[in-house]
Amino acid sequence: MRDNNSVNWNNNHVKGIVCILFAAVGFSFMTFFVRISGDLPTMQKAFFRNAFAAVVAIILLIKEGKGISIAKGNRMDIFWRCAFGTSGLICNFYAIDHLGIADANMLNKLSPFFAIIISIPLLKEVPSKVDIVTTIIAFIGALFIIRPTGGAEVMPALYGLYGGFGAGTAYAFVRKLGKKGERTPIIVMCFSVFSCLVTLPFLIMDFHPMTMKQFLFLMLAGIGASIGQFSITTAYKYAPAKEISVFDYTQVIFAAMWGMLFLHEIPVALSIVGYVIIIGMAVLRWYYNLHHLD
3-state secondary structure of 182: coil
Strands, E assignment, the chain? none
- Helical axes 129-146 vs 111-123, angle rounded to 10°: 140
How far from 26 is each of 3, 221, 282, 293, CA to CA, in Å? 35, 9, 21, 29
**Any domain includes 130:** yes
pLDDT of residue 193: 92
Predicted pLDDT at 293: 56
Helix, strand or coil, per DSSP, at residue 236:
helix
User: What was the pLDDT predicted at 7?
Assistant: 47
**Over the range 10-36, which residues count as b (16 or more CB within 10 Å of their CB) and which as e?**
eeebebbbbbbbbbbbbbbbbbbbbbb
What is the rounded CA–CA span in Å between residue 54 and residue 226? 9
pLDDT at 12: 79
pLDDT tens digits, the chain, 294 residues: what are they?
444 444 445 577 778 888 888 998 998 999 999 999 988 999 999 998 888 888 888 888 888 777 788 888 899 999 999 999 999 999 999 998 888 888 998 898 888 788 888 888 888 888 778 888 988 999 898 888 887 655 556 889 899 999 999 999 998 898 889 888 888 888 888 998 999 999 999 999 999 999 999 999 998 998 898 888 788 778 877 877 667 777 878 888 888 889 899 988 888 888 899 999 988 988 887 788 777 655
Collapsing DSSP states into helix, strand and coil, what is residue 163? helix
Residue 1 lies in a domain: no
Secondary structure tally for the chain: helices H, strands E = 12, 0
Please, are residues 88 and 163 in contact by the beta-carbon 8 Å criterion? yes
Nearest-angstrom CA–CA distance, 275 and 138 = 9
DSSP state string for 32-50: HHHHHT-S--HHHHHHHHH
Answer yes or no: is 67 within a domain: yes
What's the confidence (pLDDT) of residue 116?
81
Residue 10: per-residue pLDDT:
55
Output the pLDDT for position 132: 86
Which structural domain, as residue segments, surrounds residue 15? 11-290
Using alpha carbons, select from 235, 240, 244, 247 the residue that is nearest to residue 279.
Answer: 247
Q: Is position 169 within any domain?
A: yes
Contact between 16 and 238 (Cβ < 8 Å): yes
**Inter-residue contact 68 to 118 (CB < 8 Å):** no
Q: pLDDT value at position 147?
A: 76
* Residue 84 pLDDT: 96
Exposed, middle or buried by CB within 10 Å (0-12, 13-18, 19+), for 195?
buried
Q: Per the structure, how many domains does the chain have?
A: 1
* Angstrom distance (rounded) from CA 6 to CA 194: 43
Q: Are 263 and 101 in contact (CB under 8 A)?
A: yes
Closest CA to 287 of 134, 168, 118, 137: 134
Cβ atoms of residues 285 and 249 within 8 Å: no
Indicate whether 27 belongs to any domain.
yes
d(CA 87, CA 163): 7
How many C-beta atoms lie closer than 10 Å to residue 46's C-beta? 27
The answer to whether residue 224 is domain-embedded is yes
Task: Give, in order, the Cα–Cα distances in Å from 90 to each of 42, 115, 144, 278.
Answer: 7, 18, 23, 23
Residue 139 included in any domain: yes
